[in-house]
Amino acid sequence: MRVTQSMLSGNMLHNLNNSYGRMSELQDQLNSGSKINRPSQDPVIAVKSMGYRRDLGKVEQFSRNMNEVNSWLDATDDALSQLEASIHRVHELVVDAANDTKTAKDREAIAQELEQIHEHMRDLGNTEMAGVYIFSGTNTLSPLFKADGTMDAALPGLDNPVEIEVFEGINLKVNANANKIFKTVDAAMTKIVSTVKDPTSTGTEIGSLLGLVNEENNPNSMRSTVLTEHARIGAMQNRAEIMQDRLDLREIMVKTRMRDNESVDYSKAITEMVTHESIHQAALSVGARIIQPTLVDFMR
C-alpha cells in the first residue's frame, strides 16, 4: 500500500485534533472542578448525579422538617414545664388554705392567686408558635380557650395528631394530647378555686381536695396527667435527636458519593494534562519532520 503525503497530513491533523480535544476536556475539568460539563460527555456520571441530587434534596427537606419538629417539641416542653410549676404552686396554696388558722380574708387572697394561676394555665393552653396554636390539634389557627375563658372541647381536629415526615415513611407526632391535659386541668382548677373561694368551706373540706386520688378534679390528678404527657414529649425529643443524627449521616454520605462521582481529581487531571501537552508537542515536532518539505523550504 502506497502511503501518500496527503495520507500522512490527514492522519497527523486527525491525531492533533484528538489531542486538542482531550486537552480541552482536561482544561474544562480543571476550570470547573467537575468531571463533566455536559451529560453527553458521560451519561453514566450524569444519571448518577441526578440520583444523588434528588436524594440530597430529600435529605435537605427532611432536615427542614426536623427543625419544625424541634420547634414544636421545644415549645410544648416549655409550656408543660410552666404548667407543672403552676400545679406545684396550686398544691402549696391549697395546703396553705386548708390551715384552720387562716381567716376568710386570707383564703380570699389565696383564691385570687389561684384564679390568676388558672388564667395563666389557660394562656398556656393557647400557646402560639410561629402563628399556630400548638395545643389545638390539627386546627392550628384556632385557640383552645375562647375569649370568655371556656375550653373549646368541640374544636374540630382537637384530638387529631400533628405528624411531620422526617424520613422515608417515618412520621413523628409533635403535639400533645391537649384535650386530655387541659380538660383535666381546667376542671380541677375550677373546683379548687370555687372551694377555696367559698366562705363556708372548712379547712378539712379544702384539704380533702388533695386526697381525692380517685377523682379527676384535684391537684394530684392534674400533676399525674401533665407528667405523663410531658414524659411522652421528652421521649419524642430523644427520638428526634436520633433521627437528626441519621439525617446528618445520610447527608454526609450522599454528599461524599456525589463528590466522588462529579468532582475532578486535580492531581490526576493535572498530571494527565502535562502528559498530553508533552505528547502533543512531540507529535507536532515529529509531524513537522515527516511532512515533505515544500519549495519554500528549499529556497531558504
**Concatenated DSSP letters of 41-79:** G-HHHHHHHHHHHHHHHHHHHHHHHHHHHHHHHHHHHHH
Give the per-residue pLDDT at 60: 94
Whole-number Å distance between alpha carbons of 193 and 183:
15
**Residue 265 phi/psi, 5° resolution?**
-85, 105
Whole-number Å distance between alpha carbons of 105 and 102:
8
Of 3 and 38, the structure prediction assigns the larger pLDDT to: 38
The residue with cell 502511503 is: 3
Which one, of 126, 128, 129, 132, lies nearest residue 150 by Cα? 126
Give the per-residue pLDDT at 43: 85
pTM of the predicted structure, to 2 decimals: 0.76
In this structure, are residues 124 and 143 in contact, taking their beta carbons and an 8 Å threshold?
no
Helix (H, G, I), strand (E, B) or coil at 263: strand
Q: How many CB atoms lie within 10 A of CB 288?
A: 9
∠ Cα 262 264 269 (to 5°): 150
**pLDDT tens-digit map of 262-291:** 767 667 767 776 776 767 676 667 666 666
The Cα-based distances of 197 to 107, 110, 192, 221, 272 in angstroms read 7, 8, 8, 21, 90
Q: How many CB atoms lie within 10 A of CB 175?
A: 22
Residues whose CB is less than 8 angstroms from the CB of residue 117 and which lie 6 or more positions away in sequence, other chains included: 86, 89, 90, 93, 189
What average pLDDT score do residues 206-222 get?
65
Give the per-residue pLDDT at 5: 62
Q: Domain 51-258 carries which CATH code? A: 1.20.1330.10
Of 88 and 288, the structure prediction assigns the larger pLDDT to: 88
Say what percent of the chain tops pLDDT 70: 77
Average pLDDT, the chain: 83
